[in-house]
């Protein structure tokens, strides 16, 4: 979850766990409230329910170190290149019955003109 304007990190994790995380930070979602709307109100600076700075501070103290290590690991891991991704998707599409696929275009232009 990011605050709106500016986008500062307030939560990193599965959305299924966000409600419990925010509640543990002292901001339980009210009964019968729309969770997404409640999060928007909490994370929008200047609203009546603005808790963006507090949630950013809790994130920085608790989740940020783990988040930073995940990012560092991802930066060091070489991902697939454009050609590899196109070929993989092309192969997946060929595996689906009934799909007549053209060859993969690996030149500078992917779309025919």
Query: CA–CA separation, 28 vs 23, rounded Å?
Result: 4
> Does residue 51 lie within any of the structural domains?
yes
Is the pLDDT reported for residue 100 higher than 90?
no
> Does residue 101 lie within any of the structural domains?
no
Domain residue limits at 22: 15-62
How many folded domains does the chain comprise? 1
**Average pLDDT of the chain, as a whole number:** 88
> Does residue 28 lie within any of the structural domains?
yes
Beta-ladder partners of 9: 2
> CB-based contacts of 63: which residues, under 8 Å, 6+ apart?
11, 12, 13
> Does residue 53 lie within any of the structural domains?
yes
> Does residue 111 lie within any of the structural domains?
no
State the CB neighbour count (10 A cutoff) for residue 3: 20
> Does residue 92 lie within any of the structural domains?
no
Q: Which token pair is 101? A: 């696929």
Quick: pLDDT tens for 60-98: 999 999 999 999 999 999 888 888 888 888 777 777 765
- Helix (H), strand (E), coil (C) string for 17-86: HHHHHHHHCCCCCCCCCCHHHHHHHHHCCCCCCCCHHHHHHHHHHHCHHHHHHHHHHHHHCCCCCHHHHH
pTM: 0.67
Asked which of 35-44, 50-59, 61-70, 98-107 is least confident by mean pLDDT, the reply is 98-107
Q: Where are the beta strands (DSSP E) in the chain?
A: none
> Does residue 8 lie within any of the structural domains?
no
> Does residue 37 lie within any of the structural domains?
yes
């Amino acid at each position: 979850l990011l605050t709106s304007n500016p986008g500062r990190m307030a939560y990193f994790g599965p959305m299924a766990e966000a409600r419990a995380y925010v509640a543990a930070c002292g901001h339980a979602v009210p009964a019968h409230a729309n969770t997404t709307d409640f999060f928007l109100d909490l994370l929008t600076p200047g609203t009546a329910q603005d808790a963006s700075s507090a949630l950013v501070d809790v994130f920085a103290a608790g989740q940020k170190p783990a988040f930073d290590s995940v990012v560092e690991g991802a930066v060091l891991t070489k991902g697939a290149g454009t050609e590899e991704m196109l070929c993989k998707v092309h192969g997946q599409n060929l595996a689906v019955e009934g799909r007549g696929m053209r060859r993969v275009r690996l030149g500078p232009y992917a779309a025919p003109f």
